[in-house]
């Protein structure tokens, strides 16, 4: 077998199969195709490829076999026809939204979006004369009333910071009734605990920088959807925005995916244990954990390690943060390490008092990511830091 040859791909662009284990000496770990171009075997090979008779890697901004292996796994996990990798979660979000809206269109989005998705809507889409209405996703009637005439229903469940959980199946059914495309950011649950396409959602987006990668060593994104939607993104949007996932990052993601189910089980177990201890703590006013003490909503089969809680005014939040030892102060989440972000700081970043991002986020809110360290050690760290901050 000639292991130097790139695999020849023969299906249509939206269903490309660019990676086949048997092409690479049955390597248990896929190789990294760390190259920009793939040469042709002959004039006819090139002519057939350009004529669309054959699909094969030509240039890595288009098709790269390592990236393709990652995309195929995500499509299987999300139970969609296809998937497409991006250089970041925001690249996946902006490309997906831009592929749907035109000037004059309207989007209905749920409140408490990921802050940079909100800024993309407010700063870039506004300039393109696309309007966005934010509605509480828990209020089915309000969504139903807002949707007529909208092109897109943009969802995130659970939401950022407040961790509101929505009835995805119902919301997507309403979107379909009104002729709107439904799109969801599924980064929090990962496909292990929520597969929105099985609930009727048209487009599923991930920041792969979080749980999919799982090791805080990659920034990446991915979109999972139908052949039609992904084919259009792959053919008409991504090549020109150019926000391509790199082969090395795809390789890191493939490694991360191997432990995704085991990691998610552990984030869930430790996250619930610590959320319960916080709920029982006298200095904690409320815990915002999507599944703690509740029946799991339809379609959500588990919980990850990211949630928030509200301190009583007696706790000095800066002192609390500085007293932590195992927990580090830092944004992002989804890796091994446990992290804390006080809303005091992030609220200051999001603009004036009327910013939609501040709305409904209490001053004394603290967000935790429960990583993969020992849960007892994590609780000792938290409870000692609370004592030090009183
Ligand atoms: C981090 C994050 C994003 C953005 O992803 P990047 O990979 O950082 O671009 C989008 N949505 C959610 C919920 C996130 O946490």
User: Could you give the CA distance from residue 60 to residue 63 in angstroms, rounded to a whole number?
Assistant: 5
Judge whether 114 counts as a catalytic residue: yes
**Are 254 and 265 contained in the same domain?**
no
**Residue (of 85, 305, 90) closest to 185 by Cα position:** 90
pLDDT surpassing 80 at residue 46: yes
Per-residue confidence (pLDDT) for residue 298, from 0 to 100: 83
Query: Which residue would you say has higher pLDDT here, 358 or 168?
Result: 168
pLDDT surpassing 70 at residue 197: yes
Mean pLDDT of all residues in 200-224: 98
Distance 40 CA to ligand 1 centre (A): 38
Domain assignment of residue 136, yes or no: no
Residue 88 Cβ < 6 Å to ligand 1: yes
pLDDT level of residue 2 (50, 70, 90 thresholds): very low
Domain assignment of residue 264, yes or no: yes
Residue 137 Cβ < 6 Å to ligand 1: no
What SS3 state is found at 241? helix
- Copy the structure tokens of residue 298: 């339809």
Mean pLDDT of all residues in 60-76: 95
Catalytic residue among 19, 114, 134, 288: 114
Burial of residue 156 (number of CB atoms within 10 Å: 0-12, 13-18, 19+)? buried
CATH number of the domain that 282 lies in? 3.90.1150.10
Of 258, 276, 297, which residue sits at a domain end?
258
306-311 vs 365-369, strand pairing mode = antiparallel
Structural domain range at position 41:
1-88+209-258
Catalytic residue among 54, 61, 176, 255: 61
Residue 222 Cβ < 6 Å to ligand 1: no
Domain assignment of residue 80, yes or no: yes
Per-residue confidence (pLDDT) for residue 4, from 0 to 100: 46
**Are 266 and 282 contained in the same domain?**
yes
DSSP codes, 7-53: PPB-S-GGG-----GGGGTT-SSPPP---SB---SSHHHHHHHHTTS
Domain assignment of residue 316, yes or no: yes
Of 231, 258, 285, which residue sits at a domain end?
258
- 55-59, 95-99, 220-224, 247-251: which range is least confident on average? 55-59
User: Could you give the CA distance from residue 357 to residue 185 in angstroms, rounded to a whole number?
Assistant: 17
Domain assignment of residue 299, yes or no: yes
pLDDT surpassing 50 at residue 356: yes
Q: What is the pLDDT of residues 25-44, one digit of tens each?
A: 778 888 999 999 999 999 99
Residue 127: φ, ψ to 5° = -65, -25
Share of the chain above pLDDT 70, in %: 90
Share of the chain above pLDDT 90, in %: 84
Q: What is the mean pLDDT of the chain?
A: 92
Mean pLDDT of all residues in 345-349: 69
pLDDT level of residue 348 (50, 70, 90 thresholds): low
Ligand 1 pocket, mutate which of 86, 87, 88, 90 (most atoms under 8 A from CB): 90
Ligand 1 pocket, mutate which of 112, 113, 114, 332 (most atoms under 8 A from CB): 114
Mean pLDDT of all residues in 197-220: 98
Per-residue confidence (pLDDT) for residue 324, from 0 to 100: 98
Three-state SS for 199-214 is HCCCEEEEECCCCCCC
**Are 71 and 214 contained in the same domain?**
yes
pTM: 0.93
pLDDT surpassing 70 at residue 369: yes
Atom of ligand 1 nearest to the CA of 160: 13
**Are 248 and 268 contained in the same domain?**
no
Domain assignment of residue 215, yes or no: yes
- 68-82, 209-223, 342-356: which range is least confident on average? 342-356
Per-residue confidence (pLDDT) for residue 314, from 0 to 100: 97
User: Could you give the CA distance from residue 162 to residue 313 in angstroms, rounded to a whole number?
Assistant: 19
Distance 305 CA to ligand 1 centre (A): 15
The residue nearest atom 7 of ligand 1, judged by CA position, is 89
Of 221, 237, 258, which residue sits at a domain end?
258
pLDDT level of residue 185 (50, 70, 90 thresholds): very high
Residue 155 Cβ < 6 Å to ligand 1: no
**Are 384 and 240 contained in the same domain?**
no
**Are 236 and 282 contained in the same domain?**
no
Per-residue confidence (pLDDT) for residue 1, from 0 to 100: 40
Q: How many domains does the chain have?
A: 2
**Are 249 and 269 contained in the same domain?**
no
CATH number of the domain that 44 lies in? 3.40.640.10
**Are 275 and 372 contained in the same domain?**
yes
Distance 72 CA to ligand 1 centre (A): 21
Judge whether 144 counts as a catalytic residue: no
Per-residue confidence (pLDDT) for residue 8, from 0 to 100: 43
**Are 336 and 249 contained in the same domain?**
no
Judge whether 185 counts as a catalytic residue: yes
Distance 90 CA to ligand 1 centre (A): 6
Per-residue confidence (pLDDT) for residue 359, from 0 to 100: 65
pLDDT surpassing 90 at residue 201: yes
Residue 210 Cβ < 6 Å to ligand 1: yes
**Are 3 and 77 contained in the same domain?**
yes
**Are 300 and 232 contained in the same domain?**
no
pLDDT surpassing 60 at residue 293: yes
User: Could you give the CA distance from residue 88 to residue 103 in angstroms, rounded to a whole number?
Assistant: 25
Mean pLDDT of all residues in 218-229: 98
Distance 73 CA to ligand 1 centre (A): 20
pLDDT level of residue 3 (50, 70, 90 thresholds): very low
pLDDT level of residue 344 (50, 70, 90 thresholds): confident
Residue 160 and residue 265 in contact, taking contact as beta carbons nearer than 8 Å: no
Domain assignment of residue 285, yes or no: yes
Domain assignment of residue 155, yes or no: no
pLDDT surpassing 80 at residue 358: no
**Are 357 and 279 contained in the same domain?**
yes
Distance 334 CA to ligand 1 centre (A): 11
Q: What is the pLDDT of residues 9-21, one digit of tens each?
A: 433 444 455 555 5
């Amino acid at each position: 077998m000639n292991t130097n040859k790139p695999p020849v791909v023969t299906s249509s662009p939206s269903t490309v199969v660019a990676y086949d284990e048997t092409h690479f000496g049955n390597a248990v770990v896929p190789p990294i195709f760390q190259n920009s171009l793939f040469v042709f075997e002959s004039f006819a090979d090139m002519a057939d490829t350009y004529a669309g008779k054959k699909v094969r890697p030509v240039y890595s901004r288009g098709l790269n076999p390592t990236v393709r292996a990652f995309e195929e796994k995500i499509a299987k996990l999300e139970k969609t026809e296809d998937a497409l990798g991006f250089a970041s979660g925001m690249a996946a979000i902006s490309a997906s939204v831009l592929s749907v809206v035109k000037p004059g269109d309207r989007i209905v989005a749920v409140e408490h979006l990921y802050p940079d998705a909100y800024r993309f809507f407010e700063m870039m889409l506004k300039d393109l004369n696309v309007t966005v209405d934010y509605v509480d996703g828990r209020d089915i009637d309000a969504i139903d009333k807002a949707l007529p005439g909208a092109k897109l229903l943009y969802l995130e469940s659970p939401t950022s910071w407040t961790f509101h959980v929505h009835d995805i199946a119902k919301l997507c059914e309403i979107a379909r009734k009104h002729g709107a495309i439904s799109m969801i950011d599924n980064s929090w649950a990962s496909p292990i605990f929520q597969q929105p396409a099985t609930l009727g959602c048209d487009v599923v987006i991930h920041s792969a920088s979080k749980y999919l990668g799982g090791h805080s060593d990659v920034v990446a994104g991915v979109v999972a959807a139908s052949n039609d939607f992904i084919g259009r993104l792959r053919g008409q949007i991504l090549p020109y925005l150019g926000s391509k996932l790199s082969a090395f990052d795809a390789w890191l993601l493939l490694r991360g995916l191997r432990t995704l189910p085991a990691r998610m089980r552990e984030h869930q177990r430790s996250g619930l244990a610590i959320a319960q201890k916080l709920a029982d703590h006298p200095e904690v006013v409320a815990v915002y954990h999507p599944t703690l003490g509740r029946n799991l909503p339809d379609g959500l089969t588990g919980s990850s390690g990211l949630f928030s809680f509200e301190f009583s005014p007696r706790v000095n939040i800066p002192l609390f943060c500085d007293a932590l030892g195992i927990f580090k102060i830092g944004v992002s989440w989804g890796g091994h390490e446990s992290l804390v972000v006080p809303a005091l700081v992030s609220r200051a970043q999001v603009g004036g008092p009327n910013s939609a991002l501040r709305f409904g986020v209490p001053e004394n809110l603290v967000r935790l990511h429960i990583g993969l360290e020992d849960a007892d050690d994590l609780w000792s760290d938290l409870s000692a830091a609370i004592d030090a901050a009183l």
